[in-house]
Chains A and B, each alone.
Chain A
């Protein structure tokens, strides 16, 4: 993921002015890149580890950003 994430800042830099002019929140986009994507990956890995080893912090479907009803 690190390798992929490293490719994002040049994209943002190339269109930063346009994004700002149109009102897109650059801080939020950057936050997603720095934190949320990595957090989602960590959650998935930890969920698998918990299920395999019988530990407690299992990730519930309700925590995933999708309705799995």
Chain B
């Protein structure tokens, strides 16, 4: 049986501000001009982009599934502002998954299979966790990498559609990293207030 407060505690102001931002800054894959002239025509460069974007697509899908699974976990922990925010994070990842799936169609390529790219798929399995703090610590690495790769692909401007996708994703990832910081900071504030020695140990284990 699920037990929750009828009137949720929404007093975490920073998480509530991020939640509001997450709602206000939503956008759609249909906002992209998919008919913009394609700048990358060669077979080789499209093969290369297909390989490079494989871990990006699997990463977006993997985070979508794991973040969706954490929404009910936060409900059980009565962390409602964080739960609110994760609903927008899930929408962000769903949008990114759609964007890259459609982009593979634009370049007429398919992502690499698990057999051909086991490292990419094994990496995603390392991040899955039902503990929000543990998940956020792991996802911090993949979000940081996604952010820098998106910056570079946008700046290289290989194709207008890819550049537009990356520009949008950079904004979304900034919110995710902001939430990551705030949630972990809040968790360690509670841990240190309860038992500084245990918190130090947990900090060591997190890194």
Contact = CB atoms under 8 A, between A and B. Distances in A.
Secondary structure dominating the interface of A? helix
Interface string B180-205: 11101111111111001001000100
Interface residues of B, number: 54
Q: Which bracket fits the contact residues of A?
A: 35 or more
Contacts of A1: 137-138, 140-141, 206-207
A19 to B, nearest CB: 6
A6 B140 CA distance: 14
Given A24-B153, A61-B14, A66-B178, A38 B207 contact: yes
B148 A14 contact: no
Nearest to A13: B119
Given A11-B119, A45-B184, A48-B188, A18 B145 contact: no
A23 B120 CA distance: 21
Interface stretch (B48-56, B68-76, B77-85, B101-109): B48-56
A68 B186 CA distance: 16
Interface in A39-69: 40-45, 47-49, 51-53, 59, 61, 64-66, 68
Contacts of A47: 181, 185, 188-189
B178 A64 contact: yes
B152 to A, nearest CB: 5
Contacts of B190: 48, 52
B189 to A, nearest CB: 4
A53 B196 contact: yes
B126 interface: yes
Interface string A8-41: 1011011100110111110011001100111011
A21 B49 CA distance: 10
B141 A28 contact: no
Contacts of B119: 7, 10-11, 13-14
Contacts of A28: 148, 152
Please provide the 5 A-B residue pairs with the shortest distance between their CB atoms, ordered closest to farther.
A48-B188, A66-B178, A52-B192, A10-B119, A44-B184
Interface of A: 1-8, 10-11, 13-15, 18-19, 21-25, 28-29, 32-33, 36-38, 40-45, 47-49, 51-53, 59, 61, 64-66, 68
